[in-house]
Structure 1
Amino acid sequence: MSGMRSYGDPCGVARGLDVIGERWALLVVRDLLLGPKRFNDLHAGLPGVSPNVLTQRLRDLTEHGVVQRRDLPPPARVRLYELTDWGRDLEPLLLHLGRWGSQTPTTPDGLLGIDSILLSIKAAFDPANAAESSGLYELRIDADTYVIEDTADSLRISRDTAPNPPDATLTTNLDTLRAIYDHQITLATALDSGSLHLDGNEAAKQRLTSLLLASFAPSPRPTNVP
């Protein structure tokens, strides 16, 4: 990897860190889990990284087969970055790391990104406690649309529009969603104020609400953390 020293250890953990152990590398992977992004969109979601460092991380991850570039044809002329199949294999690791990291005793002052909030929904999903019914939901957050496909025993979230009419739709902005996630306001308060809208049949709206609230619940802290 360009500019990165290898641990020189044949253990799989060390070999994996040779690929994704550089600062910002795993966060780039995290922000591509829900779908492809342009460079500017990646940079906007990682405000602490400089353009030069982000360029280097994307180059490194591409060279190692974790990320791939895709150029859209004219008239779009847009270069997208997306995970390869091997890169997507990192999803369980990142979801588990997110659950583990959320138990740390301190929280940085930075703003939580939309990708992190939506991935927390997936991380909190427990098939053992899931309803038997399945559902298709759309989340419209500012100008972006996301799809949640709930099949009772699995949950898929992607940056996309629903292939069929969704069973329920949630429309809001990122500031409102952050406020609910941080327990500054409740979902009911957001609904009453009109800053969040839920549309669809009642059963689907209840199911979507349950998925959100399960992920927004405070994470339990280890008993040995002061």
Structure 2
Amino acid sequence: MKFQNESNARQAEPGTATAPSAHGRWYADACAASFAFELIGERWSMHVMRELMLGARRFSDIRAALPGISAKVLTERLARLEELGVLIRRKLPPPAASQVYELSEWGYMAEPFMQELGRWSVRSPLHDPTLPLTSVSAMLSLRTMLDPAKAAGLAARIGFDFGADRFIAELAHGKLAIRRAEDLAGVDALFRAPAAGAILPLFYGKRDPDEVAATTGLSIHGDRDAALRFAAVFSLPPKIAPPDDTAMR
């Protein structure tokens, strides 16, 4: 208690820069993992961060990707994450001159944490892959579910066209880089679909590409063999055993 009082007194000194209140606002616990949830555990905070993982976005872009969030809540989350130093706000140069939000260097460092959380949670039999999936989420899932052993020795430059969102994924030396791209010229192959979730049955379900095309609208352009070799290097971790109902009685 003495330490806490002394700390508060130091923060209250006139002219001293103070950090926004965060640690201890939910949990009276010094655990760093608890602090992480205090930083980004509010509803929609991680979704906002996820949508910024592949670069800066305008308010309207984030809102369009997350239709379940209200403009008021999005404004609050962006302000809080900026206050905490997770993201920054800047203005694009003319002629665009629009305001965008992007993760800070520290904010980008959360991706490995989010990847591990994704690999952990997708093992649950309760995970439902048929729910809506944003384009950024689909691309980040590739960085999360890449199988290094299968990717070894494979090099590819693959485009993804989901209408308003386009990306180029470059695989080399067992690592996958993904970036937004307006121009998809020069890729080895291109996946085109009306929605990002269309790639899931092929990439993770390992279903026949023609069957996937018929049910999701996913089409492959360019080098089909290169596209299918690329899709084959991604896999989900095994599911845990379902809970035993009898043990719950």
TM-score range for the pair, normalised by the shorter chain length? 0.7 to 0.9
Partner of 1:210: 232
Matches within 5 A, 1:1-226: 1=20, 5=25, 7-107=27-127, 110-161=131-182, 165-174=186-195, 177=198, 180=201, 186-191=208-213, 195-211=217-233, 214-215=234-235, 220-223=238-241, 225-226=243-244
CA distance in 2, matches of 1:161, 1:143: 10
Q: Which amino acid aligns with 1:59?
A: A
- The C-alpha deviation readout for 1:15-39, integer Å capped at 9, x for no partner, is 3223212221111111111222111
Unaligned runs of 5+ in 2: 1-19, 245-249
Post-superposition offset of 1:55: 0.8
CA distance in 2, matches of 1:200, 1:131: 23
- The aligned length equals 221
Post-superposition offset of 1:3: 9.1
SS in 2 for 1:150: strand
Does the Cα contact within 8 Å between 1:127 and 1:152 map onto a contact in 2? no
Post-superposition offset of 1:139: 0.6
Alpha carbons of 1:59 and 1:160: their partners in 2 closer, same or farther (altered >3 Å)? Answer: same
Post-superposition offset of 1:195: 3.3
- The C-alpha deviation readout for 1:76-107, integer Å capped at 9, x for no partner, is 12211111111111111111111222223334
CA distance in 2, matches of 1:179, 1:206: 13
Post-superposition offset of 1:8: 4.7
Does the Cα contact within 8 Å between 1:147 and 1:161 map onto a contact in 2? no
CA distance in 2, matches of 1:24, 1:197: 32
Structure ID, larger Rg: 2
Alpha carbons of 1:15 and 1:195: their partners in 2 closer, same or farther (altered >3 Å)? Answer: closer
- Bigger drift between 80-89 and 152-161 goes to 152-161
Q: TM-score, normalised by structure 1?
A: 0.82
CA distance in 2, matches of 1:42, 1:138: 22
Post-superposition offset of 1:152: 3.2
Q: TM-score, normalised by structure 2?
A: 0.75
Q: In angstroms, what is the RMSD of aligned CA positions?
A: 3.0
SS in 2 for 1:80: strand
- The C-alpha deviation readout for 1:47-95, integer Å capped at 9, x for no partner, is 2222111111111111111111121122212211111111111111111
Runs of 4+ in 1 over 4 A off after TM superposition: 1-4, 107-110, 161-164, 190-194
Q: Which amino acid aligns with 1:140?
A: D
CA distance in 2, matches of 1:123, 1:36: 20
CA distance in 1, matches of 2:65, 2:161: 17
Post-superposition offset of 1:116: 2.1
- The C-alpha deviation readout for 1:106-131, integer Å capped at 9, x for no partner, is 34674222222222222110212313
